[in-house]
Structure 1
């Protein structure tokens, strides 16, 4: 039986893509005051980002226990081996929670084969790992082979991004207040990356043009065989900037295959409007 691929909504994959590849997505939860939403379900990213521009404050939480249990148990009932590719454990309790759910599911279905991978990735960095896993599953790879390959790909995934206002990340506890202090001053734009699953500021630049040029330099420094890769670009309701970055990458490196999508509500609640993120592989890692 084909291996089932499950992820969570932090992977920021478009619904038509998850449908095409048969990927099940467990939604994280997003809160506006006392109102609970599901990422990509009862709350769409465009709604969240617009409300954030108007001053709304959001918090996020890991997926509901019942949702994760139902996803795992459904595969167990069918006798389908499964690989779950989780949001970075350094940014969410989603991975740890899934391990507890796995224990409960195995009590009822002791022969169920379930591999859980902490991707240490986020947004389309996680999404690209999930897509590769789904393609391996479609080609008949075993659950163990898929989990092993996904772990390698996740370690090699580079996340380079900039945000319009660091205060969103500071407020959500994702980076320190010191790093966030200069976010809105004098048109200073931060460039950040992910290091062992954590968000880490790299440098501060003045002006959007310099940020985009620096992102290209980082691709050249870190990327391997860039032209042959599938490149991920996610954005905070700023498709124009995402398309500009796509064009720059195609022109400079010859990249042809891209996955471009808005950040989801769970990621967007922390990154905020105007986020622009790039994902590619560094095989030297």
Structure 2
């Protein structure tokens, strides 16, 4: 009997890691005015941002349904495996609740669900820890207990071009969103404990890399033993500059680059640049 890890598409885990570790990804949905798409399956990042730039009305997103989870869970259980489901913060989506409903419908004690209290690179960082624990042949209870502790140690921050997408999607108040609308001010958000908070703001692109460097220094993060996630949304050139600035200075163990997917792009918009890791 093995352990299978199920994730949702908002973690933005790379296809290479999904394939290598036999993860199962269930997609959320992106809804434009005339058509809906399964995240990462029916629409990729490039196509999404192209449609977003032409759309007069911002798209919306939809959670994974309980029925989808029932099908996914049942298929794995029939193979004799146990399940660890690791999903985006319940504060951001009903996806975790859908998984819980499906678990209750199926019954038994082979399904274990974890609310990451994060999203995108924060969830991704926790998923990497889950993969490592499974590969160490830890039992399911040890894995769940360890992940519940580690999820509070996830660090995830990002610089956005604007807060209008988070505000339109209901993830931030209008008052919080106003800060980014004047004087080319770029808000910096922190995703922690199921909340998105504006923790700082900078003016213009030139100070972005310097801010990340200062943030690492001031918090005394030791990155030499960590896998660091660098994410962007149509901002690969600045990601490369950030990587070059921190890779050698902090002697980072490993770096994974990824572009945010359509669902996260709906709420973050283009131009985002972020960093995430588990500070254990």
TM over 0.5: yes
Question: Superposition pairs for residues 83-94 of structure 1, below 5 Å?
Answer: 83-94=84-95
Q: Report what 2:18 is aligned to.
A: 18
Number of the residue aligned with 2:47: 47
Match of 1:228 in 2: 225
For 1:257 and 1:282, the matched residues in 2 are separated by 14
Q: Which of residues 242, 245, 250 in structure 2 aligns to 1:245?
A: 242
User: How far apart are 1:84 and its partner, in Å?
Assistant: 0.4
The TM-score, its normalising length taken from structure 2, stands at 0.95
* Residues in 2 aligned to 1:155 and 1:223: alpha-carbon distance in whole angstroms: 17
The counterpart of 2:202, out of the listed 205, 211, 214, is: 205
Q: Contact (CA 8 Å) 2:64, 2:94: kept in 1 or not?
A: no
- Which residue of structure 1 lines up, in the alignment, with residue 173 of structure 2? 176
2:274 aligned counterpart, secondary structure: strand
Conserved? CA contact 1:124–1:279, under 8 Å: yes
Equivalent residue of 1:122, what SS? coil
How many Å separate the matches in 2 of 1:223 and 1:30? 38
* Equivalent position of 1:137 in the other structure: 134
Aligned with 1:270 (options 243, 253, 267): 267
Q: How well do the aligned residues superpose, as a CA RMSD in angstroms?
A: 1.5
Give, in angstroms, the shift of residue 34 of structure 1.
4.7
The verdict on how the C-alpha distance between 1:104 and 1:152 changes in structure 2, with shifts beyond 3 A counting, is same
1:252 Cα deviation from its structure 2 partner:
2.3
Deviation at 1:220, TM superposition (A): 2.3
Q: Tell me, which stretches of 5 or more residues in structure 1 are unaligned?
A: none
Q: CA deviation at 1:223?
A: 5.3
Asked if the contact 1:12–1:124 (Cα under 8 Å) also holds between the matched residues in 2, the reply is yes
Q: Deviation at 1:201?
A: 0.4
CA contact (8 A) 2:125 2:278 kept: no
SS at match of 2:248: helix
Taking the aligned partners of 1:86 and 1:195, their CA distance within structure 2 comes to 14
- 182-191 vs 192-201, which deviates more? 182-191
Counterpart of 1:81 in structure 2 is 82
Contact 2:91 2:117 in 1 (8 A): yes
In the TM superposition, what are the counterparts of 1:123-134 in structure 2 within 5 Å? Answer: 123-134=120-131
CA displacement, residues 93-147 of structure 1 (integer Å, 9 cap, x when unaligned): 11111111101121xxx3x411100011111210121122122212312221221
- 2: distance between equivalents of 1:222 and 1:101? 40
Which whole-Å deviations, capped at 9, do the CAs of 1:42-80 have from their partners, x for residues lacking one? 111211112222235210111133321121111211221
Contact 1:159 1:193 (8 Å CA) reproduced = yes
